[in-house]
């Protein structure tokens, strides 16, 4: 069965106390056909893992970033081996990291390699097909999920059209074979179903609308 992925990207939001409230207000468990992945800040990963284990929840955990280096003298970085203790997925190459932290293709490839080394499934974000078309990233296709997120749609309230996202999904799958493709950018509980019903879209990456547990639960229900 093909799963629908519903990924929450909290970005730089929520304290541990707020993360706790969120986890305890969401009553939705992932089902056979829906894989729910929540990506909190590094500071909330432990509290998340603790709650999910205690509640026997099927929600999966993702990190929002990973060091391009292995463990060692890299102040401020969080290494793949440390993340693997707490998460199964990791977001790589989000446009906010490409822009604000100057992550280029070389860095992103190293991060994908480190993720692979520690059996973390990368959710590789791209805003344009050119970011994988002529890239060595193609060689890393095996375990990757790709999220298509047009920059203008992120946080703007103006999503891409489902048809356009589907077309991008098709192009991505032509390059990376059967890689699951997610759409991200102003996904809401009202529009999510229009994206997930598209044949080349396997799920959604949700930023702002994932911060409220009730809204996120609606998104899961409607996906």
Q: How far apart are CA 38 and CA 29, in angstroms?
A: 12
Residue 155 as a binder of ligand PGA (CB under 6 A): the answer is: yes
Please report, for residues 3, 66, 116, 138, 206, the alpha-carbon distance to residue 142 in angstroms, rounded to integers and kept in the order given. Answer: 17, 19, 9, 9, 24
> Rule CB under 6 A: which of 98-117 touch ligand PGA?
none
Phi, psi of 203 (to 5 degrees): 160, -170
Q: Does residue 186 touch ligand PGA according to CB under 6 A?
A: yes
Supply the residues annotated as catalytic: 94, 149
Decide whether 19 or 210 has the Cβ nearer to ligand PGA. Answer: 210
Between 57 and 186, whose beta carbon lies closer to ligand PGA? 186
Task: Please tell me whether residue 64 binds ligand PGA under the rule CB under 6 A.
Answer: no
Phi and psi at residue 93, in whole multiples of 5°? 75, 25
Given the complex with ligand PGA, which of 132 and 209 has the nearer CB atom? 209
Which of 79, 135, 82 is CA-nearest to residue 104? 135
Q: Which of 6, 149, 179, 219 binds ligand PGA (CB under 6 A)?
A: 149
Sites of contact with ligand PGA (CB under 6 A): 9, 149, 154-155, 184-187, 205-209
């Amino acid at each position: 069965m093909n799963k629908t992925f519903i990924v929450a990207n909290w970005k730089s939001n929520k304290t541990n106390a707020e993360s706790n409230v969120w986890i305890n207000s969401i009553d939705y468990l992932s089902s056979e056909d829906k894989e729910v992945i929540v990506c909190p800040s590094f500071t909330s990963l432990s509290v998340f893992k603790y709650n999910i284990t205690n509640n026997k929840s099927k929600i999966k955990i993702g990190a929002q970033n990973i060091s391009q280096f292995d463990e060692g003298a890299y102040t401020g970085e969080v290494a793949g081996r440390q993340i693997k203790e707490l998460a199964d997925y990791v977001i790589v190459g989000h446009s906010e990291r490409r822009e604000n932290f100057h992550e280029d293709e070389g860095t992103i490839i190293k991060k994908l390699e480190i993720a692979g080394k520690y059996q973390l499934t990368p959710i590789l974000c791209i805003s344009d097909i050119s970011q994988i078309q002529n890239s060595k990233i193609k060689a890393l296709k095996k375990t990757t999920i790709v999220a298509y997120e047009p920059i203008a749609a992120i946080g703007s309230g103006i999503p891409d059209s489902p048809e356009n996202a589907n077309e991008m999904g098709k192009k991505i799958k032509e390059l990376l074979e059967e890689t699951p493709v997610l759409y991200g950018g102003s996904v809401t509980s009202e529009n999510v179903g229009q994206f997930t019903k598209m044949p080349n879209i396997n799920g959604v990456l949700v930023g702002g609308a994932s911060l409220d547990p009730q809204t996120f639960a609606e998104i899961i229900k409607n996906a």
